Amino acid sequence: MASLILQVRVVFAAEPKSRLLVTVFLTITAMLVYGAMFAYVVWIFEILYGQAPTFNNFTELFRIWSIGLIVFVGFSCVLFLYKLLVTIQRRKGMGFKSFGPLHVLAIMFGQCLVVPRINTSLEFALIT
């Protein structure tokens, strides 16, 4: 998650206000996801060592952790795709009209990262 935060920060390097807002939002989201994961691990250790668990609803904690991770990665992927599409539009304004490597990256990025993330979210919602 730290790597994704830094990568998104680099993508917004030319826009300081957006970069700060996105970095703060992603950092807070990552801290919440890591907090849920840490609580989940602590709960597992309490069970393994025979102590009474302090959190009685195991599935809710797992659901919070999973949804947080899906939202974090999905939002990061959508931000990357958005900036890539904005760059393609700006290049069109500069006179680059042909189909180029940025178009290929946008197609591959959408197919490989955003669409599977949406399917994972839907499957998770149907299972739980």
Give per-residue pLDDT as tens, 32-48. Answer: 888 888 888 887 777 77
- Residue the block writes with tokens 């992927």: 77
pLDDT of residue 28: 92
Kindly give, in sequence order, each residue whose CB lies less than 8 Å from that of residue 40, ignoring residues fewer than 6 positions away.
61, 62, 65
The pLDDT of residue 119 is above 60: no
d(CA 50, CA 115): 42
d(CA 101, CA 65): 36
d(CA 106, CA 39): 37
Residue type, 105: L
pLDDT of residue 76: 83
> Torsion angle, CA of 34/36/37/40, rounded to 10 degrees?
160
- Which residue range is the domain that position 67 belongs to? 2-127
- Residue the block writes with tokens 């609580």: 39
The pLDDT of residue 6 is above 70: yes
Mean pLDDT taken over the chain = 76
CB 50 within 8 A of CB 75: no
Number of domains forming the structure of the chain: 1
pLDDT of residue 54: 58
- Residue the block writes with tokens 């807070």: 28
The pLDDT of residue 121 is above 60: no
pLDDT tens by residue, 60-112? 778 888 888 888 888 888 887 788 777 777 777 777 777 766 666 666 666 66
Residue 108 φ/ψ, nearest 5 degrees: -65, -40
Full-model pTM = 0.67
d(CA 72, CA 87): 23
Q: What is the mean pLDDT of residues 15-33?
A: 88
pLDDT, greater one: 117 or 8: 8
